[in-house]
Homo-oligomer: A and B are copies of this chain.
Amino acid sequence: MAKTKPMRGRKQSRRGPAARLLPRRALRVPRSGLHEQAATKLRELIVRGDLLPGEPLLEIGMSEALGISRTPLREALKQLATEGLVELRLNRSAVVAPLRREELTELFEAVGGIERCAAELAAIRMTSQDVARLEALQRRIEWHHGRGELRDYFEVNQQIHGAIVGFAQNAVLKAAHEALLPRVERARLFALSARGRWNESVNEHRQILIALEAGDGARAGQLLGRHVRRTGEIVADTLTNGKAAS
């Protein structure tokens, strides 16, 4: 079942007895309701694969595991459902969304389209500072690539894609992108073996950067879209040829 630590032991009385003696919050935790915290935790559990596709998410069990009641948990589940990480079934328990190969292809296709659009806008709107930031990230990713540091590579990779979307200066587009990201990362972690594509991928990033520096939005967008779609193909293939989908 892969439950989390059963951190209960706090039934009523929401604040500890000697609360508010320490600084209100430990450095910029932008106070949020329990439902959002629950959503964050559950999202991570699903993305990291601690909760397997198809696994039922019983409200009582999950809420106890998270130390909250069913109400905020249900709100969190609905949020995750809109992100495509869980599936809600009326009068039945929610389940962790399965990973269907077909859906993965569509997912990367969609993300590729959005990032391409973002790259075109970014090419117009990027400041020289932004360009410098991208160059720095490119150096970092090549460094990690050279040293074979898979985890850091993925981390910086995410940062690059996120940065390009951010430079497009379009909050709506960015939100749409971020709504799809958890599923992307989940797929990536399921198919961690995409090592064979490393060289290709780093080079593609470099080409995209060059296009952006030249202000050639069309080319940057085209390259980025292709890059994402090809990544998706690799991930999808790895998934079907490897582990079971659901």
Contact = CB atoms under 8 A, between A and B. Distances in A.
Interface of A: 31-33, 35, 71, 74-75, 78-79, 82, 84, 90, 103, 106-107, 109-110, 112-114, 116-118, 121, 170-173, 175-176, 179-180
A172 B108 CA distance: 9
- The SS class assigned to the A binding surface is helix
Q: How many copies make up the complex?
A: 2
A116 B117 contact: yes
B176 A172 contact: no
Nearest to A168: B109
A33 B91 CA distance: 9
Contacts of A118: 113
A139 to B, nearest CB: 29
A90 B180 contact: no
B176 A103 contact: no
25 contacts: A31-B90, A33-B90, A35-B78, A71-B71, A75-B75, A78-B79, A84-B172, A84-B175, A106-B170, A106-B172, A106-B173, A107-B172, A109-B121, A109-B173, A110-B170, A110-B172, A110-B173, A110-B176, A113-B113, A114-B114, A114-B117, A116-B117, A172-B180, A176-B179, A179-B179
Contacts of A121: 109
Given A109-B170, A176-B179, 4 more contacts: A71-B71, A106-B170, A112-B117, A176-B180
A85 B105 CA distance: 30
Contacts of A114: 110, 113-114, 117, 176
Contacts of A79: 78, 82
Nearest to A39: B78
The 5 closest A-B pairs by CB, nearest first: A113-B117, A110-B173, A110-B172, A106-B172, A106-B170
Nearest to A76: B78
A22 B121 CA distance: 56
Contacts of A78: 35, 75, 78-79
A168 to B, nearest CB: 9
Which of A71, A116, A176 gathers the greatest number of chain B CB atoms within 10 Å? A176
